[in-house]
Amino acid sequence: MRSVTERLPLFPLGTVLFPGLVLPLHLFEDRYRRLIGDLLERPEPRGFGVVGIQLGHEVGEGAAHRLAEVGCVAELREATPHPDGRYDIVTVGARRFRVKELDRSRPYLQGEVEFLPEEAGAGAGPIAARVRRLYRLYRHRLGAAGAGALADADPPDDPVALSYAIAASLVLDGHDKQRLLECEDAALRLAAERDLLARENRILNVLPAIPAGQFLDGSFTPN
């Protein structure tokens, strides 16, 4: 049986958007000004797909040479136009999708996408409890290492929402972030976060012996 797909404008970015995450953007390229202009002519909800760039960069037509297969809809909440045509926008991550086919017939990229289900998965509850404990330790150690503490807010109870809140707040590289976005359900995502938090906590535990500048300027890596 052929899966149901939908045509969606795509915005390649060098970052990963998760459901529930607020993403402000400043748009200056003609193609993305056109994208927002087209969206504003449609009824709400208005959205476009954010897909991670795996090879290439953001600015310039054809600059993104390879895109991730799984992305997230950015739902448009605010759009402030400037006299020269630029836009400042505020979006919020909504549904995940898998790109099935790309369409380059318009000034901006479009894709036929298949929306992905959001399920808790088997054993999500016990894993979530462990992740919450590791995350509290992570926040404490991050602040103690001088890298800046994360916002002191209780993570959500729902396993799906929790898995995305943790994924969005962890200080990780793009590969790890994309891997979390692609997990089939919350239990698998939480299990991956459990392992990542254990790794990051081990690193943060030895940071006082490492010059702080090496961590803060990005030159410190566990690899």
Looking at the chain, the whole-number percentage of residues with pLDDT higher than 90 is 69
pTM of the complete model: 0.85
| pLDDT tens-digit map of 85-107 | 999 999 999 999 999 999 999 99
Q: What is the pLDDT of residue 10?
A: 96
Is the torsion defined by CA of 34, 18, 173, 100 positive or negative?
negative
Q: What is the pLDDT of residue 196?
A: 96
- Per-residue pLDDT band for 216 (boundaries 50, 70, 90) equals very low
- 172 pLDDT more than 80: yes
CA distance 193 to 199: 10
Question: Does residue 45 have a cis bond before it (omega within 30 degrees)?
Answer: yes
Residue 53 DSSP symbol: E
Helix, strand or coil, per DSSP, at residue 128: helix
Element (H, E) at 33: helix 30-40
Surface-to-core class of residue 181, CB atoms within 10 Å of its CB (0-12 exposed, 13-18 middle, 19+ buried): buried
| pLDDT tens-digit map of 109-156 | 999 999 999 999 999 999 999 999 999 999 888 877 666 555 566 789
Per-residue DSSP letters for 160-210? HHHHHHHHHHS---HHHHHHHHH-SSHHHHHHHHHHHHHHHHHHHHHGGGS
Within 102-154, where are the H helices? 124-144
